[in-house]
Each structure stands twice: as C-alpha cells, then as structure tokens.
Amino acid sequence: MRITLNGRKIELDAGWAFEVRERYGKPNDIVILNGFQIEEDCKISENDILNIITKGVMPGKDELESMMMARHTPRVHSEVKKGKVAVAGLGGLGSNIAVMLARVGVGQLLLVDFDVVEPSNLNRQSYSISHLGMPKTAALKKQIQEINPFVKVELREVRVTENNVRELFGGYDIVCEAFDRPEAKAVLVNTALEQLPDIKVVAASGMAGCESSNLIRTVKPMKRLYLCGDLENGAGTGSGLMAPRVMVCAGHQANMVLRLLLGLEEA
C-alpha cells in the first residue's frame, strides 16, 4: 500500500495508523490522518496522508512543511502553494490577511505598503513593540519567515496609484485590497479590474466599531470582485477600528482568497 508519511510517499504493508507510529515514531507521538488528529487507532487506505509528530522536536527541513500543513484538508496544500497573492495595505486588515495566508501555505505573497509601524497600530494590526519604527513590509516579512519559511515574500514600499497598479500586481492571481481610505480603495479596485483582466480582487468595506460580527459577510457584487464587511460601518469620530471586527473581516478576505485558489468562486 502507498501512503504519504510526513511528506514522503512510501510503500508499506501496515494496515493501521498506530502500527505505522510504532515503526516510524514514538508511543506518545501525535498522529494526524488526512488532516485530523486521531486519539484512537484507525485503519489506513491507499493514498492516505499520515503525519507522525514528536512534540518539542524541530523536524528536518524536508519534513517541516508537511508537518505544518498536516491539519489541512487533504490535497489542499498542493493547490494553494501554486497561488500568487498580493496584499495592498498592511494595516489591521492586510497584516492579518498576510499572516493567515502564510499559515495556509500560499506559495508567493506580495506585500505593498509605504508606512511604518507606530504605537496606535498595535490595537489591531499584526505587529508588536519590537516592530515600532520598522517599515510595515519588513516587519511583516520577518513575522512570516518565522511562521512559514516556505512562502516566497516580495516587498514594495510604495503608494498605490492608477499609474502603478498594472506594474505592481500584474502576474498575480488575486489582490487583497486592505486600505483605510475610500479613495485609495476605489483606485485599486477600479484600476485592477480595468487593467488586469485575469486578476480577482478581494476588497473590504465596513468593519469599524463593535457592532455584531454576524453582520460581516462576503458578497460578489460583480465578476472578479468580492467584497467583505458589513458594507455600512466605516471608521470615523466615535467609531474606531478595533481588533475583533477588523480581524473577523480579515478572516473573510483570507478565506475568500483560499476558496478562489481552490477554484471555488462563489462567495
């Protein structure tokens, strides 16, 4: 029988998951079968994906990526790793989107922002005190390298305008719009849809304050455009941006990106 064990295809005659653990691991090792951590022994079948993980031990590079993605739905990673996704704006939305996409295992990320990390960012953005004063692009790349070293990360410290959208995002499958200002959002969305006929845009509108998170949703207002948020509650005096709703919206955007990379185009 042929299975994938810790990222390597092997032939074996064992019929049960714990039998494989006895041969290749230790009695207390974690066993993950087809994306699910099992506590009771399970029969294994042809082409199953099995991971045996020893707690507290750094695996070799060849095994690390497989172990990181062990909890994925089977055969998702090979598709997602082909993906090329741009994140424009690395604030509350973009920084969290990028981290989630890195954890998912997207193969290539382009991070675009012209700003630096400052103290008011820490209430909702994926940065820490050690990043204060750093360009957001560099701070986020450092985080991603510590989370998933297999992601290729490209950086552009530049403001997005109508004149550079094609040059920045051409060749990418998807661009995530993650700007604060409505004017900047409109420039990116409209120009990308007009000038890049093959790209899909995942944008956001309405995640301010502390209204119910159940109001945040993902819709598809037109071909190649997906919009996440409650579509109403923008930031303003008396209604700030706070981590819970911002991160819920970022999760919607990251999940829509994942769906698109897997060929699932309905919102």
Query: Which pLDDT score is estimated for 241?
Result: 86
- Cβ burial of 133 (10 Å; 0-12, 13-18, 19+) is exposed
Could you tell me the sign of the dihedral formed by the alpha carbons of 83, 84, 86, 91, in that order? positive
Torsions phi, psi for 30 (to 5 deg): -70, 140
Tell me how far apart the alpha carbons of residues 9 and 264 are, in angstroms, rounded to a whole number.
Answer: 28
Task: Please report, for the chain, the start and end positions of each structural domain, with discontinuous segments joined by +.
Answer: 2-68, 77-261
* DSSP conformational letter for 16: B
Fold held by 77-261: Rossmann fold (3.40.50)
- Phi/psi-derived region of residue 250, left when phi > 0, alpha when psi is between -120 and 50, beta in every other case: alpha
Query: What's the predicted TM-score (pTM) here?
Result: 0.94
pLDDT string in tens for the chain (267-residue length)? 999 999 999 998 879 999 999 999 999 999 999 999 999 999 999 999 999 999 999 998 889 999 999 999 988 999 999 999 999 999 999 999 999 999 999 999 999 999 999 999 999 999 999 999 999 999 999 999 999 999 999 999 999 999 999 999 999 999 999 999 999 999 999 999 999 999 999 999 999 888 999 999 999 999 999 999 998 877 666 667 889 999 999 999 999 999 999 999 999
CATH 3.90.1280.10 fits 2-68, yes or no: no
